[in-house]
Amino acid sequence: MPQRIKLPHFIVAALAHIPALAFSAQADDPPHLPRGYSIPLIDLADQEHRQVVVDREEGQYLGHPTTVLLEDGRTILAVYPKGHGRGAIVMKRSTDGGLSWSDRLPTPENWASSKETPTIHRVVDPQGTKRLILFSGLYHIRMSVSENDGETWTPLEPIGDFGGIVAMASVERLRDGSYMALFHDDGRFLRDEGEVTMFRVYKTISKDGGLTWGQPEVIAEHPEAHLCEPGLIRSPDGEQIAVLLRENSRRFSSFVIFSDDEGQTWTEPRELPGAMTGDRHVGRYGPDGRLFISFRDTTHESPTKGDWVGWVGSYDDIVQGREGQYRVRLMDNTKGTDCAYPGVEVLPDGTFVATTYGHWDEGEVPYIVSVRFTLAELDDLAQHLSGVDTKESNARRSQDIEALLSGQFRWAVTAPIVAPAERPDDPCHAIEDPTVVHHDGRWHLFCTIRSRHRTHQIEYLSFTDWEDADRAERHVLTLTDGYFCAPQVFYFAPHRRWYLIYQVAEPSRKPALQPAFSTTEDIADPGSWSEPTLVFEEHPENVNAWIDFWVICDEAKAHLFFTSLDGRMWRSATTLGDFPGGRDRPRVVLEADIFEASHTYRLKGLDRYLTVAEAQGDGGRRYYKAYLADRLDGGWEPLAATPERPFAGPVNVRFEGEPWTDSFSHGELLRAGVDERLEVDPSGLRFLFQGVADEDRRGKPYGEIPWRLGLLEAVPGP
């Protein structure tokens, strides 16, 4: 579970007991990315000095507000319905940045006929006329216009012969001066008397400053997921548009799509991490370029599920699928998930004013509240939680990245953390070739084991803490009765399945050693893996030997890397759509003094790739070299690739206790996520490896060398 901060007068302990009242996953739900999150959670729910009541009426449901900040940087308008979405539209004004609010303002008579959540936006036409536009959805979508900062409004009028839900959830000015507005529909309201279909997300374009709108076009749909409530965020450089999407079947996490051409074309929807899963995402940039995104928490596994929450991170976190920096609970909702269609504004001094509705008092109808904060204040709370100064932490991270990119690696090594299991019926000599992911609060470790009778098998163990790893229950996978070993595990998000890549013996082929894969929907069930399937339909004619197969994906392709025990690393690619099949002819991509066990990762936040590969040193000792590339189909440059300056070897490893290994063999970096991109955080690297002392391996055949697993941890700075 995420960490939670405890400050004076907070009742944060109650977070752990919030029931999942709505949208629980069904037994036959598809597998997901991690259903929870691991970033810190801080809490503002009991900090009443931050809260301002915008509107409350005894016995009257008030919900679903949106807000707009006017040009003066202090006037905020809020609009919301008297009812759950449907109901007369109320408008209020604050002239002091949300510290106080007016009485309810006069509005056009037909605003009382609103049937759906109203939204309000600022626009400017090509002649420079500034106006506010207010939408009310369902069939038809209707709009009101004000050209005097909301003092007076036109009545609601249809914008076309179409309708939709939560119109318009987002409105964005495009480079050509036109505006793109986004909404969703499930088939019922796009046309009169429509039939229910899958949810789809639509865009409509205005070229005259919001006065008229074109016919809607679909920009996002999914064969199984119900995508809705589009929350648009433009990249800091203005070159890309991201749209965060609620997922209404509750079988998936939230989704995101991207456009690099001002909304003309869009990527396929991709699931977001659990940390960003929710309804009605509204994001704004802070003064330092970070994002705050407010939403209703519908993360599958979250102590704040159903509450009004926020997320702090970077735009690149969204692009890269990272969890972000931390989460914030803004208010504690006391009834299910009925809260948090938020308005979010940022004042000139960096103060965020987030406004929404919810059941803030047990047994009472919802009312409208705003919460005020700065990112600096949230950072201070996060610092109390972590015990690390944010500036100091950022400086440490910069030092770590600088050291990595210059090839300066230093490590501290633990005592052995996993040893061969004792099995009297088939004594185990060694545990080797580890691959590991952290999922649902547990480490899932797969390794090769070398035993007296069965020479090569894969073993699985799961645990919460590394100090418990050696005591974890061992499970030998039953994939085949023959040879199988050298696993790699990852979650392939497009298939929503876990993949285990490994090597098997196939006597009908030459060489007999072949790459294979198995899949499962449940990584925690060692008996659920499918039977082996060979990766290649036929053995590539240009490869005479290969070993240690490794898959990593970029935005378009799945790349299979391997070595051939002769100083060469190879690559074979296939499209994501054809994975795991459809591979092209392998080609040599690196020639160097390397041996085996090449593993490739994406460096989180750097848009670069790191390959580590095992080499043999004096006396047969094993150590690791490192290489860098800008892309997976590019060339590799040496980074730390000599015995005197290795990635990991005897010369740059410090023992914290009694020395126990002279070799650093077949290792894997601990990843920042679980999916096919294989991201590692360049700050605070950890490397799980197999090791053995010279005296323990001397005179033994390789299969009887008593390899054990240890963990290298990067030593900070120079």
pLDDT in tens, 392-445: 666 777 888 899 999 999 999 989 999 999 888 888 999 999 999 998 889 999
CA torsion angle 647 650 652 654 (round to 10): 130
Q: With cut-offs at 50, 70 and 90, classify the pLDDT of residue 3.
A: very low
**pLDDT exceeds cutoff 70 at 282:** yes
pLDDT at 390: 54
**pLDDT exceeds cutoff 90 at 315:** yes
Please answer whether residues 567 and 593 qualify as being in contact, where contact means their C-beta atoms are separated by less than 8 angstroms. yes
Beta bridge pairs of residue 692 = none
Q: With cut-offs at 50, 70 and 90, classify the pLDDT of residue 153.
A: very high
The whole-number average pLDDT for the span 73-92 is: 97
The whole-number average pLDDT for the span 80-85 is: 96
Domain at 397-714: CATH code: 2.115.10.20
The whole-number average pLDDT for the span 327-344 is: 95
**pLDDT exceeds cutoff 80 at 674:** yes
The whole-number average pLDDT for the span 75-83 is: 98
Rounded to 5 degrees, φ, ψ at 463 are -160, 165
Distance separating alpha carbons of residues 165 and 184, to the nearest angstrom: 5
Distance separating alpha carbons of residues 537 and 485, to the nearest angstrom: 20
pLDDT at 513: 96
pLDDT at 22: 29
CB atoms within 10 A of CB 454: 16
The whole-number average pLDDT for the span 104-117 is: 98
**505-536: per-residue pLDDT in tens?**
999 999 999 999 999 999 999 999 999 999 99
CB atoms within 10 A of CB 157: 11
R_g of the chain computed on alpha carbons? 28
- What is the sign, positive or negative, of the torsion defined by CA atoms of 703, 708, 714, 715? negative
DSSP label of 375: H
Q: Which of 191-200, 292-301, 666-675 has the lowest mean pLDDT?
A: 191-200
**pLDDT exceeds cutoff 70 at 24:** no
Mean pLDDT, the chain, rounded, equals 91
Please answer whether residues 487 and 447 qualify as being in contact, where contact means their C-beta atoms are separated by less than 8 angstroms. yes
CA torsion angle 512 515 521 522 (round to 10): 80
**pLDDT exceeds cutoff 70 at 23:** no
**266-281: per-residue pLDDT in tens?**
999 999 999 999 999 9
CA 680, distance to chain mean position in Å, is 13
Q: With cut-offs at 50, 70 and 90, classify the pLDDT of residue 125.
A: very high
Pairing of strands 119-124, 130-136: antiparallel
Between 440 and 616, residue with greater pLDDT: 616
The amino acid present at 565, given as its one-letter code, is: L
Q: Which of 8-12, 567-571, 667-671 has the lowest mean pLDDT?
A: 8-12
**pLDDT exceeds cutoff 60 at 336:** yes
pLDDT at 717: 60
**pLDDT exceeds cutoff 60 at 11:** no
The residue length of the chain stands at: 718
Kindly provide the b/e burial profile for residues 350-376, where b requires at least 16 CB atoms within 10 angstroms of the residue's own CB.
Answer: ebbbbbbbbbbeeeebbbbbbbbbbbe
CATH match of 46-386 with 2.120.10.10: yes
In terms of pTM, does the model score above 0.85?
no
Please answer whether residues 75 and 127 qualify as being in contact, where contact means their C-beta atoms are separated by less than 8 angstroms. no
Find, among 680, 490, 667, 533, the residue nearest to 596 by Cα.
667
pLDDT at 607: 78
Distance separating alpha carbons of residues 147 and 252, to the nearest angstrom: 42
**pLDDT exceeds cutoff 80 at 193:** no
- Where are the domains positioned within the chain? 46-386, 397-714
Q: Is the peptide bond before 140 cis (omega within 30 degrees of 0)?
A: yes
**pLDDT exceeds cutoff 80 at 452:** yes
CB atoms within 10 A of CB 468: 13
Distance separating alpha carbons of residues 86 and 116, to the nearest angstrom: 5
pLDDT at 389: 53
Structure tokens at 10: 């907070």
Listing DSSP states for 576-634 in one string gives: TTTTTS-----EEEEESS--EEEEEEEETTTTEEEEEEEEE-GGG-EEEEEEEESSTTS
Rounded to 5 degrees, φ, ψ at 25 are -70, 145
pLDDT at 14: 28
pLDDT at 75: 98
In order of 89, 103, 352, 424, 432, the CA distances from 74 in angstroms are 23, 17, 12, 76, 63
pLDDT at 278: 97
Quickly tell me which residue has 């290792």 as its tokens. Answer: 667
**pLDDT exceeds cutoff 90 at 255:** yes
pLDDT at 596: 97
> Residue 613, SS3?
strand
pLDDT at 673: 85
Distance separating alpha carbons of residues 296 and 72, to the nearest angstrom: 29
pLDDT at 656: 84
Distance separating alpha carbons of residues 310 and 296, to the nearest angstrom: 8
The whole-number average pLDDT for the span 310-319 is: 95
**pLDDT exceeds cutoff 50 at 577:** yes
Structure tokens at 633: 């189909």
pLDDT at 168: 97
> Residue 525, SS3?
coil
